[in-house]
């Protein structure tokens, strides 16, 4: 996974912190182990149990906004795809800064296999954003609506699947990013499992990759001259030959070979890739990523929901897409 800055890989950046008060309460719920009888046959391990959260104290709810219902809806939107996740809003507190509210949530795993913990974030006066760790993220009952609208207007990459944008899956990727190469198998699976989706490839060349911007510009020209099918043929060939992008001569050979596989003239594509309009189009795609506060590749935006997918199991990605479909009322 390639990052431009440190960021917690979740649908919204929420920094998990352990709170001793919760840990102590949880430990008190576990009875002491009975003395061991060395002559007795070993017993089966005790099944893990879901945590029992301490009862919230009404005194910890001193702020009128956001309401507990709003926080619960927000967290359900973020985490509802995971049936094993459980949480409890522990406090919603006024702070010394007018209009800024501190929210503390206890988080656990219904299977009991993971240690319970706490997290905190600060809701800003507009009620639409939070500070979690060192990041500002959207907040509310529909935290992805604004990003979805931006993508519907500005995501202009080549796509496969539906022309409709009811379910729009936008992939921000860098041709020289190893995790982007690895993620393509999962993108292909999404195209099969969600035939009604519009799956967009959006260029996001990162500055640490010397050949990434050139590869992106080549891809734009391939798509312009040969259409979406040619673009995705080119993209697959570039990812397959990604190691060749490591040197200037290797990059030229790799890109020209990929263009030829797409059935186009490498000389014409190279000339096209250096035109101001194409360079500006790549830069606009990078700006779109930055405006959406995307800072790692590969990242999917599923109807505006950010899903960092570098190394993520396919079943988890699919589960998130299915859940977002349900949230947005999209028929299967």
Q: What percent of the chain has pLDDT over 90?
A: 76
Q: What is the pLDDT of residue 44?
A: 45
CA-CA-CA-CA dihedral for 120, 123, 129, 130, to nearest 10: -20
Tell me the three state secondary structure of residue 197: coil
Taking alpha carbons only, the member of 204, 187, 168, 211 closest to residue 301 is: 168
The pLDDT tens digits of the residues spanning 104-144 come to 999 999 988 888 889 999 999 999 999 998 889 999 999 99
The pLDDT tens digits of the residues spanning 241-286 come to 999 999 999 999 999 999 999 999 999 999 999 999 999 999 999 9
Mean pLDDT, the chain, rounded, equals 87
CA pair distance 40, 62, nearest whole angstrom: 54
218 contacts 234 by C-beta, under 8 angstroms: yes
Model confidence at 18: pLDDT above 60: no
Burial 9-19 (b: 16+ CB within 10 A, else e): bbbbbbeeeeb
- Strands, E assignment, the chain: 2-3, 15-17, 85-94, 101-109, 117-123, 129-132, 135-138, 159-161, 168-173, 198-203, 296-297, 299-302, 305-308
Instruction: Work out the pLDDT band at 8, boundaries 50, 70, 90.
Output: very low
What single string gives the DSSP state of each residue in 38-62? TTSPPPPPPPP----PPPPPGGGB-
Q: What is the pLDDT of residue 1?
A: 52
Q: What are phi and psi of 156, to 5 degrees?
A: -120, 15
Instruction: Work out the pLDDT band at 34, boundaries 50, 70, 90.
Output: very low
Q: What is the pLDDT of residue 47?
A: 52
Taking alpha carbons only, the member of 260, 173, 265, 259 closest to residue 218 is: 259
Domains and CATH numbers, the chain: 2-29+49-141 (no CATH), 146-327 (3.40.30.10)
281 contacts 212 by C-beta, under 8 angstroms: no
Instruction: Work out the pLDDT band at 332, boundaries 50, 70, 90.
Output: low
**Which whole number is the average pLDDT over 324-330?**
94
CA pair distance 113, 116, nearest whole angstrom: 9
User: Measuring CA to CA, how many Å separate 13 from each of 119, 130, 138, 184, 222?
Assistant: 11, 9, 9, 25, 36
């Amino acid at each position: 996974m390639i990052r431009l800055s440190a960021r917690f890989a979740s649908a919204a950046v929420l920094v998990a912190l352990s709170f001793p008060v919760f840990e102590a309460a949880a430990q008190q719920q576990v009875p002491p182990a009975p003395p061991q009888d060395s002559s007795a046959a070993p017993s089966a391990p005790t099944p893990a149990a879901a945590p029992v959260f301490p009862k919230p104290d009404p005194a910890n709810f001193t702020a009128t906004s956001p309401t507990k219902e709003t926080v619960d809806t927000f967290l359900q939107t973020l985490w509802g795809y995971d049936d094993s996740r459980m949480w409890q809003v522990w406090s919603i507190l006024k702070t010394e800064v007018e209009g800024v509210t501190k929210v503390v949530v206890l988080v656990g795993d219904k299977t009991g296999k993971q240690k319970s913990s706490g997290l905190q974030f600060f809701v800003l006066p507009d009620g639409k954003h939070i500070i979690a760790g060192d990041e500002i993220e959207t907040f509310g009952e529909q935290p992805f609506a604004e990003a979805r609208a931006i993508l519907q207007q500005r995501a202009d990459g080549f796509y496969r699947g539906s022309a409709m944008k009811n379910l729009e899956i936008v992939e921000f990727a860098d041709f020289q990013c190893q995790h982007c190469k690895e993620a393509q198998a999962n993108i292909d699976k999404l195209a099969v499992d969600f035939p009604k989706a519009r799956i967009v490839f959006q260029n996001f060349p990162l500055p640490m990759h010397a050949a990434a911007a050139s590869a992106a510009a080549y891809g734009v020209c391939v798509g312009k001259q040969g259409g979406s099918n040619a673009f995705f043929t080119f993209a697959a060939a570039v990812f397959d030959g990604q190691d060749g992008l490591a040197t200037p001569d290797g990059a030229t050979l790799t890109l020209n070979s990929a263009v030829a596989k797409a059935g186009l003239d490498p000389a014409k594509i190279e000339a096209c890739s250096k035109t101001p309009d194409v360079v500006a189009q790549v830069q606009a795609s990078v700006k779109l990523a930055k405006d959406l506060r995307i800072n790692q590749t590969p990242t999917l935006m599923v109807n505006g929901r950010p899903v960092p997918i570098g190394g993520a199991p396919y079943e988890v990605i699919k589960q998130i897409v299915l859940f977002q479909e349900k949230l947005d009322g999209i028929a299967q």
